[in-house]
Every structure is written in C-alpha cells, then in structure tokens.
Amino acid sequence: MSFLYDRVALIGLGLIAGSMALAMREKGLAREIVGHARSAETRETALEIGLVDRVYAKASEAVVGADLIVLAVPVGAMGAVAEEIAPHLAAGATITDVGSVKQAVVTAVAPHVPQGVHFIPGHPLAGTEHSGPRAGFPSLFQNRWWLFTPSEGIDEDAVLRLETLVNRMGAKTERMDAAHHDLVLAVTSHTPHLIAYTMVGVADHLKRVTESQVVQYSAAGFRDFTRIAASDPTMWRDVFLQNKEAVLDILGRFTEELFVLQRAIRMGDGDHLFDYFTRTRAIRRGIIEAGQDTSAPDFGRSPGAETKS
C-alpha cells in the first residue's frame, strides 16, 4: 500500500486529532500513527480504542522519526510544545496545527521550527461541542473546509502533500493570509461563540426564570446556544485571548447592530425589522447552498440523536 505519510505524530489526542487518526486509518493514508497526551488516562484510552499505534508521555519522544507532526493542543500551549519538540524533528518533516487562530500560532511556533522543516499552519472548520479521544469520528471533515496559511517561500510540494491528505479525509482546502483568516473566523465562529456563552450566562443570572424552566422550556434558539456554550473552555479561553483584536472589532460592530435593532423594537419600526430579517435570512440560504448545513427540519437531527455539526 502506498501511504501519503510514513509516520504521523499527533500532539494532543482530542476530538480533532482523534478524528484525523480514524480518517487516516479508514483511508489508508499513514503507515503508522503515534500520539502524545499529558494525561495518562487519555493515553490509555487512545491505545484502547485504536487511535494510535504507540503513545508517549512526552511530545519530544512522539515526534522522533515522524514525517508529519500535527499540533492539536490549545492555542496558548503551542509555543511551549514547539520549543520542546524542535530539537527532535527530522529534516524534511512537515509540522502543522489545527488551531482556530493563526497569527498567534505563527508567532509562537515559527521561531522554533528548525531549518529544513516545513511549517504549514492549518485550521479545519469542523468540530462538535464534545472533546476527548472518544469524541472523534472519521467523517468529521467530510465536505468541510480546511484552511491553510503557509508563509511565502514554503516548499510547494510539502503544502500540496498536506492538502492531499486532508482532501482524502473528505475536506476541501483553501489558502489565505493568517491575518485575514483570523478576521474571517472572528465573524463566523469566535464572536458567535462569545454571544452564545453570554446568552447562557444571562439565563443563569436571570433569577425571575428558574433553572428548571430554562431547561424544560428551552426552544431551539436557546438550546443551540447551550450546545455551543458546552465547548471546551480551555480552547475557547485561548481563542479569545489570542485573537482579541479581531474579536473586539467584530464584537463592536455587533453591538452597533444590536443598538439599531433595539431602537427599531422600541419605536415599533416593523418595516426595518422585516427588511433586516429578510437580508439575514439570505445568509442562511447561502450556507445551505454551499453544502455547509442542511435545510431539514431541526437541522436534520433525529430525536435523541447526538449532534455532530
């Protein structure tokens, strides 16, 4: 069998890394998959469910001999991990990451990457609110975008090889500038998550609505806010701290829009509300037409089914 990579080292064994491992195994993309996790429990689980062939307590040991290294740790930890593994990276190896912030990752990781090692920052636009090695599934990346922000002068063959890997896992690829990536994600992911956390926090503090009522009468909107707000707190803490300029920019724009809507509601301006909602409804249609969600009732969920979107 012809493998794209001989040995892949996954540094961090959560949802994304676990899904990568399962997808690579399913498609026969790597001869060997090894991993690292700080938690002994995570390491044991990863071996037990077959995510990796071997697992290490130290990241520096996991990367030895690997021709692809994937940093799947919180954004705030990537610099320290890169510094630890740098002396042990093989010449010609590729190192990538799956963080949802790119400028901060480049700043933290790039200074530690040795000459002759290809650093190709990446971000799969896929995930669920679940975390840990058991959360992964091989179809996570199917028809999802995987963004890369390679620097000028990077080896084109190394980039194409990595893009081929993720394409065969089912993802679509695009390249963009790191700063532009961070602004786009502030709009499409980071600020919406912050709003979801805030709305759930508002409900928690609204003492006139009891906790039992919030849970029992959760309509679709609030229910989906709680699903988003159940995401990994460490990851999202780092995202907001590492992409704060773009998030604050978009949050300011959101606040301005909110004031306009607040005034329309207070003044009884139904025409403005109708026109506004008509324009925003078109965005939803565009997402469905792009194949990034379904128009099925209840987002295609069956009663009691676990959401993986």
Q: Alpha-carbon distance 250 to 183, whole Å?
A: 8
The range of the structural domain enclosing residue 68 comes to: 5-176
| Domain count along the chain | 2
Name the average pLDDT for the chain. Answer: 87
Residue 158 maps to which CATH number? 3.40.50.720
Residue with tokens 């062939």: 53
Task: Write the pLDDT tens digit of every residue in 121-135.
Answer: 999 998 877 889 999
Tell whether 58 and 163 lie within a shared domain. yes
pLDDT at 206 (0 to 100): 62
pLDDT at 303 (0 to 100): 43
pLDDT at 208 (0 to 100): 55
Task: Write the pLDDT tens digit of every residue in 19-62.
Answer: 999 999 999 999 999 999 999 999 999 999 999 999 999 999 99
Is 277 a domain residue?
no
Confidence check: pLDDT of 242 > 60: yes
* Higher pLDDT pick, 297 / 252: 252
Q: Which of 176, 209, 228 is the last residue of a domain?
A: 176
Is 73 a domain residue?
yes
Tell whether 148 and 190 lie within a shared domain. no
**Over pLDDT 90: what percentage of the chain?**
61
- Residue 268 gets the label, from left (phi > 0), alpha (psi -120 to 50) or beta, of left
Q: Is the pTM of this model over 0.85?
A: no
The pLDDT-based confidence of 104 (bands split at 50, 70, 90) is very high
Tell whether 166 and 205 lie within a shared domain. no
pLDDT at 170 (0 to 100): 96
Question: What is the DSSP annotation of 4-24?
Answer: SEEEEEEES-SHHHHHHHHHH
Confidence check: pLDDT of 190 > 90: no
Tell whether 159 and 194 lie within a shared domain. no
Comparing CA positions, the residue from 58, 31, 32 lying closest to residue 43 is 58
Tell whether 41 and 116 lie within a shared domain. yes
Q: Which of 176, 201, 225 is the last residue of a domain?
A: 176
Tell whether 66 and 159 lie within a shared domain. yes
Tell whether 14 and 140 lie within a shared domain. yes
Q: Alpha-carbon distance 300 to 291, whole Å?
A: 13
Q: Alpha-carbon distance 154 to 221, whole Å?
A: 44
Confidence check: pLDDT of 230 > 90: no
Is 64 a domain residue?
yes
